[in-house]
Amino acid sequence: MASHPPTGPGKITANPRVPVGGVRAVLSNYDIDVDVPKREHTTFLDAQVVPILLGKNARIFLQGSASSTGTAAHNLDLSRRRANNVASYLQKRGVLASRIQIDAVGESLASLRTPENAQDRAVSLLAAPLFQPPPAPGPTPPVPPSAPVTPTATTFEIRMLGGLSGGIGILAIDQLFFEIVDRAHAVTSIYVYSAFGGGRGALPLSATLRGPFNTFSTSGAMSTDEFGGPARFTTGGVASFTVNFLNMMGLPRGIATRPVSLSITTGFTVGIGGSTSGGEMILQFTGKFTGP
């Protein structure tokens, strides 16, 4: 393609909706048909992104994009090279390649009002530490015969603490962490949902951040540590606009959740698509609930 004059300094647009300890931004105003990040972009990466990725168990998701000038195939390749060059820069700063997830959307998200838009010539990023499940508690002292059992209730709250979903073709793999709380007795239980299923998304790997509590009830009294067993999780959407349903099928005989399929509001999701999987809710531990 024909050469174009420089478009000026690189621009950085930060998004305030970020996970704790993370950063979300768009590195824009790449020169037209150029895949090399500008000085302003690399300065931002050095100051705001590299320190996060050199920390423990952090990840970054990069998504290159392009304006609508040129063919769709050319723009897809250009957007991928932009994301790859940011990844290469981070690796030169000591970031492990295994911590970097790359995606490219070409001109598919470009503005329809003008063929050249500074925001379209960009690399979007989200860097954050992944959720780490709380450590298992130490040895439990012997319980006297007269000690009460785990209290029961019929009203609970559930939230997703975080999770990863991956896919190859239409095969989906989920590892999600849930917390179920009985506030009346200040008891909480942590579960990991591990499953395989089917679905399709724009990214081969997506991450979901911690979400709010969702209230639900059960048809009979039970404790927070009795929600383990077979389960099904269905999700669809992008970013903050997702629909999620969890159906726990391993409850004590004669008891079901109300509703049976719980609608769960999660945190921000990096990735686009939908999937349904069948797996198991595995209890990690139960303990005192002290607050969010």
Predicted confidence band at 147 (pLDDT cuts at 50, 70, 90)?
very low
Residue 251 CB neighbours (<10 A): 18
Q: Tell me: pLDDT of 159 over 80.
A: yes
**Which H or E run contains 288?**
strand 269-288
Looking at residue 204, the DSSP 8-state letter turns out to be S
Smallest Cα–Cα separation from 281: which of 177, 199, 183, 154? 177
126 has a pLDDT exceeding 80: yes
Domain 153-288: assigned CATH number: 2.40.128
77 neighbors 37 (Cβ within 8 angstroms):
no
Cβ atoms of residues 123 and 82 within 8 Å = yes
Q: At 275, is the secondary structure helix, strand, or coil?
A: strand
Question: What is the pLDDT, as a whole number, of residue 26?
Answer: 94
Q: Which of 82-86, 138-142, 148-152, 253-257 has the lowest mean pLDDT?
A: 138-142
Q: What's the pTM value of the predicted model, to 2 decimals?
A: 0.51
Query: b or e along 133-164 (b: 16 or more beta carbons within 10 Å of the residue's beta carbon)?
Result: eeeeeeeeeeeeeeeeeeebbeebbbbbbbbb
Distance (Å, whole) CA 230 – CA 222: 17
What CATH number is given for 11-129 in this structure? Answer: 3.30.1330.60
pLDDT tens track for 232-283: 988 776 555 677 899 999 999 999 999 999 998 887 766 555 667 888 999 9
Mean pLDDT of the chain: 83
The domains of the chain are located at 11-129, 153-288
Pairing verdict, β 58-65 and 100-104: parallel
Banded model confidence at residue 169, pLDDT cuts 50, 70, 90:
very low
Q: For residue 190, give the H/E element and its range.
A: strand 187-201
Q: Which two tokens stand for residue 201?
A: 């998304």
- Does residue 139 have a pLDDT over 70? no
Burial 92-126 (b: 16+ CB within 10 A, else e): eeebeeebbbbbbbbbeebeeeeeebbbbbbbbbb
Instruction: Quote the percentage of the chain above a pLDDT of 70.
Output: 80
Confirm whether 11-129 and 153-288 share one CATH topology: no
